Chains A and B, each alone.
Chain A
């Protein structure tokens, strides 16, 4: 069964700290992996998309890596800010289909 798991479920850090969010998935035959941010009661904002042939993607203070063989992706956030407080979700699409499955997310709180 294709599943996506995110740890930790919640994380609280002081402002300025670098942090890593983890996403793991079963079945390494993925098509792509996408990281999203969601504020409470709001929509999903795409942060980074990694194709199966890529190892990492960067956007500003965000860096996402992908290791298909181990079934893992990490989202690195540098110099965290209170405005980064949100839920971060990873979503995986596997080859051979359109279905894209989300992990349960990591709720991040950055303290000023």
Chain B
């Protein structure tokens, strides 16, 4: 079965650079979540989208922005990168008409040097 696809899987950037992460949800899933997981920490909710509209917002820095496109894929844009942004970024998708079970991608590991 198709899963949540995230790209790139690994990304290395310098401080103050910009990075973009992409997430392709499971087909027919219309809701996307973004999480940030620092080393040894639990995943922190950043933001979610339902039907291309922001549905909820967590601890997403102002330097970050995200959107969901007409094909339901989502992109997380991170600017003015800081060392503390180094983390695993997970995307999860949800079929709103289904049970509410979240399915996660393998994550994108961002390293800021």
Contacts and interface: CB of A to CB of B under 8 A. Distances in A.
Interface of A: 31-32, 34, 36, 41-46, 49, 51, 89, 91, 93, 97-105
The 8 closest A-B pairs by CB, nearest first: A98-B56, A44-B104, A43-B106, A98-B55, A102-B42, A98-B48, A99-B56, A49-B101
11 contacts: A41-B88, A41-B109, A51-B100, A89-B43, A98-B31, A99-B48, A100-B102, A102-B42, A102-B43, A104-B42, A105-B42
Contact of A43 (B33, B58, B90): B90
A37 to B, nearest CB: 11
Given A43-B90, A104-B42, A105-B42, A98 B33 contact: yes
Contacts of B64: none
B96 to A, nearest CB: 9
Which of A51, A100, A102 is the most central at the interface, judged by chain B CB atoms within 10 Å of its CB? A100
Give the bracket for the number of chain B residues in contact with chain A: 20 to 34
Contact of A49 (B41, B50, B56, B100): B100
A51 B109 CA distance: 31
A100 B104 contact: no
Nearest to A32: B100
Which of B43, B45, B55, B58 is the most central at the interface, judged by chain A CB atoms within 10 Å of its CB? B43
A99 B42 CA distance: 15
A44 B58 contact: no
Given A42-B106, A102-B44, 17 more contacts: A31-B100, A32-B99, A32-B101, A41-B109, A43-B104, A43-B105, A44-B90, A44-B92, A97-B56, A98-B94, A99-B45, A99-B48, A99-B58, A100-B33, A100-B45, A104-B42, A105-B42
B107 interface: yes
A103 B103 contact: no
Nearest to B44: A102
Contacts of A41: 88, 109
Contacts of B94: 98
